[in-house]
Amino acid sequence: MAAFKIPKQKEIKRYATLFNVLAKYGFEDVLVNSGISKAIPKSYLNGHPDTEKNLSFSTYERIRMVLEELGPSYVKLGQIFSNREDMLPPELIKELEKLQDHAPNLKNFDVQKTIEDELEITLADYFLSVNPEPLAAASLAQVHRAILLNGDEVVLKIQRPNIEEVIESDLLIMKQVAKALEKYSTQAQALQPVRIIASFEQSIREELQFLREMDNTERFARNFEGNEMIHVPVIYRSLSTNRMICMEFIDGIKVSEVNTLKAANIDPAAVAKVGVDLYIEQILEHGFFHADPHPGNIFVLPATGQICFLDFGMMGTVMPNDKEALGDLLLYFLRKDVKKIIILLEKIAVKTDIPDYKKLEQDLYELVSGISDISLQNVKIGTILIQFKTVLYENRIVLPHYLYMLIRGLIIIEGVGRKLDPDFNITDNLEPYTSKIIRRRFSLKRLFKKNLSRFQDINDLIDTLPDDVNAILKKIKDGKLLVIHEHKGLNEFQTAMSKSVNRLVFAVIIAALSIGSSILVMAKMPPLVNGIPLLGAIGFVLSAVLGFYIVISIFKNNQF
């Protein structure tokens, strides 16, 4: 392992905190074996008195406890990967699901000064008031209500002070620990910690880019332009930066508050159908979907009955080709066409290392057969998707990250629908889209576009063919054409032929020695020993030894 780089003083303290927490929960060997402990002063590395007591918990419980104690970055890590059955075992997933975003409110946080410094304004010139008490607090940001001079009610989503610096420090430590785990722990190697941290780094960096979140919100609004069933919060760009977002305050009812909806004369069953319809439209029509549609991010506006999604920091994007592949996957599942499902999975997968294709085929067949055995009104797509992710994990198939976001989103949104309406069935929402997918696949427009694309490919091939042929001919003329030919099994054939030729040569030599020795014996050629020619006797002995050697070789290799 390469020499560990000595960290700065602040980083040393973070390493020391991490070391003490790991030691507290029985993971001290992780950093000791990695060599990181050599860079930390001894005073930081005292043992922890609670270690023995904590060892009574399971390994996965202790992992969750470590994340909770280390703070926001690590809690966020656990939350993001609580839906990755493709990468983590079910027991660990169950523990990570217990993590809640319980970040405390910031102490001594001067909201007014933070806003003025960030926007380079005087607060009174733009705001009538800003509530110093947070409306909500999360790992990365804190939300405050405010009123603009024109009377608009808004919320200000403000990043925690120095959060980028803290995250950068935490990411550095996470990477070092991941490398140590992957090198020294056989159990951890199966979890691929380095890949986990790389994926987490991408996700958390995206969440920190508030300009990106604003772009996502406005793109989402454009996709649903003209749809009266949905409302998207307005963004105040002039009062926003990459570390602060000013947006419309949504005075609505959380979709999980069923009794409040009923009190406002809103039918929860209708909300369930419309909300899930809107979510499926995001996936199959727009290819741009909300990746975290939990009840806290979906409101109903009592005045209009419109659905309002909040928090567009985590969004999933489906490429146009993948959108068609998703439609095909849905159809293959309905048809129970396991072989085509496998072909499609291999096509869209980021990585495949399938140890046994027969097992994969059997697993998928059991999954699709199980669906057909359930009556339509009892189908739970969340359960099916969880089983599907387990099949992927066990057969070492890694799909693009957005697909896991999509699966998680569908599981959550179905749960929301069932909470609103116990008789809710998401297959009713999917049915119009499956019919549309079938019509689209066999539409004249699609067939024309596909054949036109193929014609263009053929045309491009014809255009470049003469140049390619000329290039090949020129290489032949110049003697520069290199042909690499691989004949599978040729080495084995050459070895067998070589052995056969060697044995044939031995046989010829034995025959020659036998004939020559016979002639010498018959001619009584001296020198004689007891009347027997010595050279003839030597020839017979050599013939016998070589013949015996060949017979033994043939029987030894079962070549007879």
DSSP secondary structure string, 26-88? T-HHHHHHHTGGGGS-GGG----TTHHHHTTS-HHHHHHHHHHHH-HHHHHHHHHGGG-TTTS
**221 SS3 class:** helix
Residue 524 falls in which region: left (phi positive, over 0), alpha (psi -120 to 50) or beta: left
Q: How many CB atoms lie within 10 A of CB 37?
A: 18
**What distance, in Å, lies between the first and last C-alpha atoms of the chain?**
54
460 vs 477: CA distance, rounded Å: 26
243 close to 159: Cβ distance less than 8 angstroms: yes
Angle subtended at Cα 274 by Cα 272 and Cα 278, rounded to the nearest 5 degrees = 115
Burial class (CB in 10 A: 0-12, 13-18, 19+), 228: exposed
**Active-site hit among 292, 311, 363, 421:** 292
95 vs 117: CA distance, rounded Å: 41
Q: Where does 364-449 show beta strands of DSSP type E? A: 397-398
Q: In the Cβ-directed half-sphere of 150, how many Cα atoms lie within 13 Å?
A: 4
**Given CA atoms 274, 278, 280, 285 in this order, what sign does their dihedral have?**
positive
**Does 353 participate in catalysis according to the annotation?**
no
Block residue for tokens 């889209």: 433
Q: How do beta strands 397-398 and 351-352 pair?
A: antiparallel
Please tell me the total number of residues recorded for the chain in this structure.
560
**299 SS3 class:** strand
Q: In the Cβ-directed half-sphere of 299, how many Cα atoms lie within 13 Å?
A: 15
* Structure tokens given for 93: 């997933």
DSSP secondary structure string, 155-214? EEEEEPTTHHHHHHHHHHHHHHHHHHHHHH-HHHHTT-HHHHHHHHHHHHHHHH-HHHHH
Q: How many CB atoms lie within 10 A of CB 363?
A: 18
**326 SS3 class:** helix
117 vs 446: CA distance, rounded Å: 54
H/E stretch holding 307: strand 307-309
Which are the catalytic amino acids?
292
